[in-house]
Structure 1
Amino acid sequence: MSNYKSNSYFSIDVNLLNSIPVDNLVCITVAGNSMEPVLLDGAILIVNMGDRFIKDGKIYVLRQENIIRVKCLSYTSSGIVLKSYNQQYKDEIHTFQEFSNFEILGRVVCVSSLL
């Protein structure tokens, strides 16, 4: 995952973002294929940094040590599942204790990519 270049511009009608405060939004670029076909390599994600509480089945940006990751998160009875949409990647199951080493940075609210 790399930061969107500060000298580049991306425009979207903020009315599409359901009244999310603009100050909470950041754009990042997807690097990799683990979330394909939903999120393509090079796609631009709009992330709500103010939304850090897990809603089952939603896509989040999270930090695991020094790595920024984008995964679909869901609960199990004993922890959290990190799911990649690309079936070449296996689901990662973490206990709640293990997941405490992760930091949820925000929820993906919009995606734009070239086909």
Structure 2
Amino acid sequence: MAEFKLDGRMTVKGLKENFKKCFGASLRVYTTPACKTFADDKATLASIRQADAKGGSLTVGGNLKVGNFEKKIGELYGIGVQVSDPSDKKLVDNDLTLAAAGK
């Protein structure tokens, strides 16, 4: 089962690339939980983290549901993420697992 670890030192670009490599799905990263403005690919997760977010590291497995993953990232970093299909054309259902989202 694919899994990856992320922490505040990871860049947005690195997060998206690792996510795609592990799960096959695309990841959209935003500067706020409201998912209005895309985050800069060169920024680190720590640099875009909201002041009241705790930060830290997280290990993510393929059996985690999309909705739970998006919620955990929001709680940890105070940023928004959305999982989309492999071609990044549409968002996937929150009830799918991360592994299923890339198929």
Greater RCO structure (CA 8 Å; 6+ sep) = 2
TM more than 0.5: no
TM-score range relative to shorter protein: under 0.3
